[in-house]
A = this chain, B = another copy of it.
């Protein structure tokens, strides 16, 4: 596996993208995008577990459940989430799908729909229909970067990645784009991601591969614990490379490539968290089981006290232990240990570990050494609960005064 320079969602063969401004964003920037596959693609999706899913989420879930074997495209708008819009909002999502199908020359059931933006407002369908026509006119294999920018809302930069993966039959590509600043803007409809590949993968296989990749990436990040009505992750496999997954080693190589793309996109979301200046990998080891490791890591990753300490570059280990101790995960009070290290830029540890707590009590450490580690843009924190062998990692960012200012001043 290796990274494709400037790789994006159209790096795999057979995909085109285009975008235009149709007036949904007040800024006047591009806000409507199309992704097209030049042939029918299998597809899989992972969606928000929010109990008020937006209309396009309901539409896509029904579509994939009915037939995920012959998708031709995705239509995406930013600016309006089409969430909490009732039956009229579902009609709008269907109209948007039908308009895109017209433009792409396929059936509506071959087009997935994504929306992101403000909750509770209706889409202006005149603008959307004009936008679909405009975006279709710009479809081209180099269009991925344009799509990546068009789907941004409060993002400060586009998020794209692609890899080449060597399989037994030859090389395939996996590329993707994402938008969102983690789980921090339900009003801005949070996270969308689209991943494509030119490998030949059946729909059922694709679904299993996507769920595993999501579990190790998008489902392991947190900005502030808030999820949205619109969170969606789509994966399309159009088989344009005419190379399939043969045996376990191909499958493992493909899964690793898919995880790498998803994780890079997910970490880009955390880094772009509102007001964030620091990425922290929270690794919990020594847990009784995986669920408890994850519960402890997530509780630490969403604790405002831990996140404000991160903002201040403060080695306040009591806050980390207290968060783990209220997570429900079992721990050995006399066996807990905590260490920190500089990050490696890819969500792991890149330097020597400094022990802050050993055997459940404070370890002697140099304050300036701890401050140097915690002052960096990438930090790794490892908490061992001392009771088992399970291990999980979650990525989070710091909670800064800028986060509060951005969210307190945002007007509905």
Residues of A whose CB lies within 8 Å of any CB of B are: 49-52, 83-87, 118-121, 184-187, 224-229, 302-305, 308-309, 311-312, 314-319, 321-326, 328-331, 333-334, 336, 357, 359-362, 399-401, 403-405, 407-412
- Report if A316-B86 is in contact (Cβ < 8 Å); known contacts: A322-B119, A322-B186, A404-B403: no
Per CB-CB distance, the 5 closest pairs between chain A and chain B, nearest first, are: A119-B318, A186-B322, A312-B408, A308-B407, A52-B325
Shortest CB distance A269–B (Å): 16
Shortest CB distance A105–B (Å): 34
CB contact between A325 and one of B51, B185, B333 (< 8 Å): that residue: B51
Chain B: CB-nearest residue to A305: B226
By the criterion CB–CB under 8 Å, are A400 and B408 in contact? Answer: yes
Cross-chain pairs A/B with CB under 8 angstroms, 30 sampled = A50-B326, A51-B324, A51-B326, A52-B321, A52-B333, A84-B318, A84-B321, A84-B362, A86-B334, A86-B359, A86-B361, A120-B362, A121-B362, A184-B305, A185-B305, A187-B305, A187-B318, A226-B303, A226-B304, A226-B323, A226-B326, A227-B326, A228-B322, A229-B325, A304-B399, A305-B407, A312-B408, A314-B411, A317-B412, A399-B404
Shortest CB distance A402–B (Å): 9
Chain B: CB-nearest residue to A310: B408
By the criterion CB–CB under 8 Å, are B404 and A311 in contact? Answer: yes
Chain B: CB-nearest residue to A409: B312
Contact residues in B for A330 (Cβ distance below 8 Å)? 51
A333 CA to B84 CA in the complex, in Å? 8
By the criterion CB–CB under 8 Å, are B404 and A225 in contact? Answer: no
- Report if A401-B412 is in contact (Cβ < 8 Å); known contacts: A228-B322, A331-B51, A361-B86: no
Chain B: CB-nearest residue to A306: B226
A121 CA to B399 CA in the complex, in Å? 26
A311 CA to B229 CA in the complex, in Å? 23
Chain B: CB-nearest residue to A400: B404
Contact residues in B for A400 (Cβ distance below 8 Å)? 404, 408
A408 CA to B312 CA in the complex, in Å? 4
Residue from A49, A121, A322 whose CB has the most chain B CB atoms within 10 Å: A322
Shortest CB distance A220–B (Å): 17
A13 CA to B209 CA in the complex, in Å? 69
- Report if A52-B322 is in contact (Cβ < 8 Å); known contacts: A120-B362, A311-B404, A400-B408: yes
A323 CA to B52 CA in the complex, in Å? 10
By the criterion CB–CB under 8 Å, are B412 and A314 in contact? Answer: yes
By the criterion CB–CB under 8 Å, are A186 and B401 in contact? Answer: no
By the criterion CB–CB under 8 Å, are A309 and B186 in contact? Answer: no
By the criterion CB–CB under 8 Å, are A224 and B359 in contact? Answer: no
Shortest CB distance A308–B (Å): 4
By the criterion CB–CB under 8 Å, are B408 and A311 in contact? Answer: yes
By the criterion CB–CB under 8 Å, are B318 and A186 in contact? Answer: yes
- Report if A319-B86 is in contact (Cβ < 8 Å); known contacts: A51-B330, A314-B410, A399-B404: no
Shortest CB distance A298–B (Å): 12
By the criterion CB–CB under 8 Å, are A84 and B326 in contact? Answer: no
By the criterion CB–CB under 8 Å, are A304 and B405 in contact? Answer: no
By the criterion CB–CB under 8 Å, are B321 and A357 in contact? Answer: no
Chain B: CB-nearest residue to A303: B226
By the criterion CB–CB under 8 Å, are A226 and B360 in contact? Answer: no
Contact residues in B for A318 (Cβ distance below 8 Å)? 83-84, 118-120, 186-187, 412
Contact residues in B for A308 (Cβ distance below 8 Å)? 403-404, 407-408
A305 CA to B328 CA in the complex, in Å? 25
A118 CA to B317 CA in the complex, in Å? 11
CB contact between A52 and one of B87, B331, B409 (< 8 Å): that residue: B331
